[in-house]
Homo-oligomer: A and B are copies of this chain.
């Protein structure tokens, strides 16, 4: 999917919501545990209940991997289900991969060929050749970690480069923006650092930003929109637990739909405020 199509979906759905499919077998409603593939059954119901309010889904690969090959099977079924039933969705593998060139090429094969994802989150530590193989696929995206929302972000991401005075996350933005374009690269920017968004927007004015951490991790949607939105929206804001675990009983999917709808309504106001719809 290219940037224009993604922006078109945002305008059509009046939403820049990404729903994180962090599906934990320990948190799935009890009645689903009897189905042959509880993780997939849960995802399917969540997807059908929320797809009209969301432009993107983001399975967190760790949750599937923790179940071994059966988890990977649930992941493949989830991707196939979305592709078949909701083909307009932007599909993100939250995998945080990154390795030497030929190995990153295999991760790209895993997520773009074996599975039909639009984008993969990638860690920048190993530099250009660890990122580039993901960008060799037309209309597929790298979403590079820049500034994350967790406590450990401060361990290295704010280290100040002697030569330029930039922090590491700023160097990551400035160096990596040369590797591709706003058509194949996005950045992960933690919403708990909303005050940093303005600064990041100055460095990458045209790129989409994937913002985790609104909701459970404490960011404010208004603040993110105010500081991070550009003329093509330029934001995908993720919510996981607040939506998919809105309820744990048999009506869980309806409750997830309501929770997603609530976020969508707030996003619609923000898109109108900016004059994008």
Contact = CB atoms under 8 A, between A and B. Distances in A.
Contacts of A160: 161-163
Contacts of A156: 124-125, 127, 168, 171-172, 175
A113 B67 CA distance: 10
A6 interface: no
A31 interface: no
A256 interface: no
A98 B96 contact: yes
Given A69-B72, A110-B62, A151-B127, A159 B159 contact: yes
A130 to B, nearest CB: 5
Contacts of A70: 69
B171 A159 contact: yes
A155 interface: yes
A217 to B, nearest CB: 8
Nearest to A165: B162
A27 to B, nearest CB: 11
A175 B155 contact: yes
Contact of A155 (B67, B127, B153, B157): B127
Contacts of A126: 96, 123, 145, 148, 150, 152-153
Interface of A: 22, 60, 62-63, 65-70, 72-73, 76, 94, 96-101, 103-104, 106-107, 109-110, 113-115, 123-131, 145, 148-157, 159-163, 165, 168, 171-172, 175
20 contacts: A62-B97, A62-B103, A65-B114, A68-B76, A68-B115, A96-B97, A96-B98, A100-B150, A101-B150, A123-B125, A124-B156, A126-B148, A126-B150, A126-B153, A127-B153, A127-B157, A128-B151, A129-B150, A160-B161, A162-B165
